[in-house]
Amino acid sequence: AEAADVVRERIAPFGERLSLAAVNGSSATVVSGEPEALRELADSCPESVRTRIIPVDYASHSAQVDDLREEILSVLDGIAPREAS
Protein backbone atom coordinates (compact mmCIF):
# COMPACT_ATOMS: atom_id res chain seq x y z
CA ALA A 1 0.00 0.00 0.00
CA GLU A 2 1.63 3.19 -1.25
CA ALA A 3 0.63 6.51 -2.75
CA ALA A 4 0.17 6.65 -6.52
CA ASP A 5 3.15 8.96 -7.14
CA VAL A 6 5.46 6.57 -5.27
CA VAL A 7 4.06 3.59 -7.18
CA ARG A 8 4.51 5.37 -10.54
CA GLU A 9 8.20 5.81 -9.74
CA ARG A 10 8.50 2.22 -8.53
CA ILE A 11 6.97 0.72 -11.72
CA ALA A 12 8.69 3.08 -14.21
CA PRO A 13 11.62 0.68 -14.86
CA PHE A 14 9.14 -2.01 -15.94
CA GLY A 15 7.89 0.03 -18.92
CA GLU A 16 4.71 -1.38 -20.48
CA ARG A 17 5.05 -4.59 -18.48
CA LEU A 18 3.24 -2.88 -15.58
CA SER A 19 0.54 -0.22 -15.41
CA LEU A 20 -1.01 1.87 -12.67
CA ALA A 21 -4.50 0.34 -12.79
CA ALA A 22 -6.39 2.19 -10.06
CA VAL A 23 -6.00 4.64 -7.22
CA ASN A 24 -8.47 3.58 -4.54
CA GLY A 25 -7.23 5.88 -1.79
CA SER A 26 -4.29 7.94 -0.60
CA SER A 27 -2.22 4.80 -0.05
CA ALA A 28 -4.28 2.20 -1.91
CA THR A 29 -2.88 1.83 -5.41
CA VAL A 30 -3.48 -1.07 -7.81
CA VAL A 31 -0.88 -2.20 -10.34
CA SER A 32 -1.64 -4.56 -13.21
CA GLY A 33 0.52 -6.22 -15.83
CA GLU A 34 2.60 -9.26 -16.64
CA PRO A 35 2.61 -11.85 -13.83
CA GLU A 36 6.40 -12.15 -13.71
CA ALA A 37 6.81 -8.36 -13.56
CA LEU A 38 4.25 -8.21 -10.74
CA ARG A 39 6.22 -10.83 -8.79
CA GLU A 40 9.44 -8.86 -9.36
CA LEU A 41 7.75 -5.69 -8.16
CA ALA A 42 6.30 -7.35 -5.06
CA ASP A 43 9.67 -8.92 -4.22
CA SER A 44 11.40 -5.54 -4.55
CA CYS A 45 9.05 -3.74 -2.15
CA PRO A 46 10.13 -3.26 1.45
CA GLU A 47 8.24 -5.27 4.07
CA SER A 48 6.43 -2.11 5.14
CA VAL A 49 4.62 -2.08 1.77
CA ARG A 50 1.66 -4.45 1.69
CA THR A 51 1.39 -6.28 -1.63
CA ARG A 52 -1.01 -8.93 -2.88
CA ILE A 53 -1.14 -10.63 -6.26
CA ILE A 54 -4.63 -11.60 -7.38
CA PRO A 55 -4.93 -14.38 -9.99
CA VAL A 56 -6.89 -13.24 -13.05
CA ASP A 57 -7.16 -14.32 -16.69
CA TYR A 58 -5.76 -11.04 -18.02
CA ALA A 59 -4.51 -7.75 -16.63
CA SER A 60 -7.38 -5.32 -16.99
CA HIS A 61 -6.51 -1.62 -16.95
CA SER A 62 -3.20 -2.38 -18.68
CA ALA A 63 -1.63 -2.68 -22.11
CA GLN A 64 -2.53 -6.38 -22.06
CA VAL A 65 -6.16 -5.50 -22.78
CA ASP A 66 -5.05 -4.33 -26.23
CA ASP A 67 -4.32 -7.98 -27.07
CA LEU A 68 -8.00 -8.81 -26.48
CA ARG A 69 -9.39 -5.98 -28.61
CA GLU A 70 -10.21 -7.98 -31.75
CA GLU A 71 -11.75 -10.85 -29.77
CA ILE A 72 -13.92 -8.44 -27.78
CA LEU A 73 -15.04 -6.61 -30.93
CA SER A 74 -15.92 -9.94 -32.56
CA VAL A 75 -17.94 -11.13 -29.56
CA LEU A 76 -19.80 -7.82 -29.30
CA ASP A 77 -20.47 -7.52 -33.04
CA GLY A 78 -24.17 -7.04 -33.67
CA ILE A 79 -24.99 -5.81 -30.19
CA ALA A 80 -26.62 -2.39 -30.26
CA PRO A 81 -28.05 -0.17 -27.56
CA ARG A 82 -31.82 0.13 -27.27
CA GLU A 83 -34.29 1.96 -25.09
CA ALA A 84 -35.11 0.45 -21.74
CA SER A 85 -38.61 -0.88 -21.27
Domain boundaries, the chain: 4-76
Predicted structure pTM score = 0.72
For residue 31, which of 40, 47, 48, 70 has the smallest C-alpha distance?
40
Q: Is the pLDDT of residue 83 over 90?
A: yes
pLDDT per position as a tens digit, 16-74 = 899 999 999 998 999 999 999 999 999 999 999 999 998 887 777 777 778 888 988 99
Q: Is the pLDDT of residue 15 over 90?
A: yes
| CATH annotation of 4-76 | 3.30.70.250
